[in-house]
Amino acid sequence: MNDLEKLTEYFREFPGIGPRQAKRFVYFLLRKNDNYIKELSNLIPKIKQNTAVCSRCQKYFTKRHNENLCDICSSKNRDPSKLMIVARDTDLETIEKSGSFNGFYFVLGGLLPHLEEDAQKFIRIKELKELLLLTKEKAKEIILALNANPDGDNTANYLKKFLSKEFSNVKISVLGRGLSTGSELEYADKETIFNALENRK
Ligand SMILES: [Zn+2]
């Protein structure tokens, strides 16, 4: 395999990228000047170094010192009675940008695929349990904010069962279907998120 093919293979591993797009990325880079290439290749090890996973919500954040909590988890101005569970960092970002939620979050790190039951393999169920044990007295409501598709539904069903067994005193709600079926939370606009939250049940 030559270097051009090797780089194409790297890009192919990116989420949502097929072989033709991967090759287009390589040709795009070939057309860029040396400065661009240098900055890009310096940035990758740098973000790896400066980024940590929050020990509470599990989201990625940029470290300033040696802190292990993200800005949201260390904030004193948020409502501890509400915890929202999302699949990925990008979903959390979309909801934060909408400005319609002021509680805390937990990032599952993925979804439990349709018909799959082995949660440990796909989502951070152990970390979620630890967080809930820690916040038990405070969290009054857990909001499941997951994609409206078969994987999202399977995850929601699994979590509902798990949470009602382990934390029966907490109210569990799911986002209202202002999010149309099959839609991805990450791409929802501000108004849709606001409505989905208002209509949670
Ligand atoms: Zn956090």
Contact 139, 83 (CB under 8 A): yes
* pLDDT confidence of residue 201: 84
CA of residue 59 to ligand 1 center, whole Å: 6
Answer whether 65's CB lies under 8 Å from 89's CB: no
Single out the residue of 196, 195, 194, 125 nearest to residue 165, CA to CA. 125
- 104 CA → ligand 1 middle, Å: 8
Which protein residues have a CB closer than 5 Å to ligand 1 (ion)? Answer: 54, 56-57, 70, 73
CA of 71 from ligand 1 middle (Å) equals: 7
CA distances (Å), origin 189, targets 98, 114, 142, 155: 7, 26, 22, 23
Q: Render pLDDT for 34-65 as a digit per residue (tens, 0 to 9).
A: 999 999 999 999 999 999 999 999 999 999 88
Consecutive H or E run containing 172: strand 171-174
- pTM, 2 dp: 0.83
